[in-house]
Amino acid sequence: MRVGIAGAAGKMGQALIKSVKEHPELTLGAAWERPDHPSLGQDAGLLAGQDRMNIILSDDMRSALSECEVVIDFTAPKATMTLVEAALPAGRSLVIGTTGFSAHQLSGLQEAARKISVVYATNFSIGINLLWVLARRAAEVLGPRFDAEIIEAHHNMKKDAPSGTALTLLEAICKGQGLDPDKCVRHGRQGWTGPRSPGEVGMHAVRAGDIIGEHLALFAGPGERLELKHQAHSRDTFARGAVRAAAWLGQRPAGFYHMADVLGLEEK
């Protein structure tokens, strides 16, 4: 199956090209970037530190879509929505790892999934997807007597905070305790905050250096605490998960899928 990579010259795009090359069921069909990118015209394989793949980095997304069956996109919300508009008439499947969508944009992505197959995840790491399941279960078992806090850390160039992964972790904890994530989240603390409110979930974002991604779900109760932590050591972790999702998507019917579907994780 031929795969197209959006934002192919970026660090994540290069990791995706490498992972596609290593996957026995996939081949790179197209790679593209924004019109003003300095890497346009280069061989995508060489750009990613691999052997020549005879796929030239283009700025013509619509032509590139004719060269692939599924597209992997880890770009930015506006660029992703432009891709969705082009993928619909072309009938191309999508694997979307972009974060920072507005509610309206996410609704548009879900609407598109009525006509094409889409795998969407705020994090394609297999370990993170297990963390979400474990955090939800921990919240169910520990209950309201245990205070929940989320601490996430990323590199100093990340533009959105909290991370999409942390927000999904918040949703998992709230699902486990029957809370509304929009009402219970507390972003950081400063000054005279007073005692912690019942049902509050703390959210803290760190931006420093070249941290790939760290997420901690902390549950603290009477006399004990539980910490569930995931650390990503390389972007290849996310790339391998996304490529696995692309291979899984294959000829699946139109629908809005998650990594839980890809991995066969039970959702309650």
The CATH number given to whatever domain includes residue 257 is 3.40.50.720
Q: Do 29 and 64 sit in the same domain of this protein?
A: yes
Q: Are residues 142 and 213 in the same domain?
A: yes
Please identify which of the residues 154, 204, 215, 258 carries the catalytic annotation: 154
pLDDT at 266: 65
- Tens of pLDDT, residue by residue over 133-191, are 999 999 999 999 999 999 999 999 998 899 989 999 999 999 999 999 999 999 999 99
Which member of 11, 21, 23, 158 is catalytic? 158
pLDDT tens, residue by residue, 111-131? 999 999 999 998 999 999 999
H or E element, residue 65? helix 61-65
* Domain region containing 166: 126-232
187 a catalytic residue: no
- How distant, in Å, are the alpha carbons of 102, 141, 155, 163, 178 from that of 105? 5, 34, 25, 17, 26
Same domain, 137 and 227: yes
Same domain assignment for residues 110 and 6 = yes
CATH number, domain of 136, equals: 3.30.360.10
Beta-sheet pairing, 70-73 with 93-96: parallel
Q: Give the tokens for residue 9.
A: 């010259």
- C-alpha span between 194 and 134 (Å, rounded): 30
Question: Tell me: the pLDDT tens digits for 204-221?
Answer: 999 999 999 999 999 999
Based on the fold, state whether residues 7 and 109 are members of the same structural domain.
Answer: yes
Q: Residue 156 is which amino acid?
A: N
Among 60, 59, 48, smallest CA distance to 22 is for 48
Q: How many domains does the chain have?
A: 2
Contact call for residues 172 and 228 (beta carbons, < 8 A): no
Predicted pLDDT of residue 168: 93
Does one domain contain both 112 and 131? no
Longest C-alpha distance within the chain, in Å? 62
Residues 133 and 228 in one domain: yes
- Residue 268: its pLDDT value, please? 44
Does the pLDDT value for residue 203 go beyond 70? yes
Strand partners for 255? 117
Directed axis angle between helix 164-177 and helix 126-142, to 10°?
Answer: 30
* Catalytic residue list contains 258: no
Task: Give pTM, 2 decimals.
Answer: 0.82
Contacts of 110 (CB under 8 A, 6+ apart): 256
In a domain, 268, yes or no: no
Is the pLDDT score of 53 beyond 50?
yes
Stretch (H or E) spanning 73: strand 70-73
User: Does a cis peptide bond (omega within 30 degrees of 0) precede residue 162?
Assistant: yes
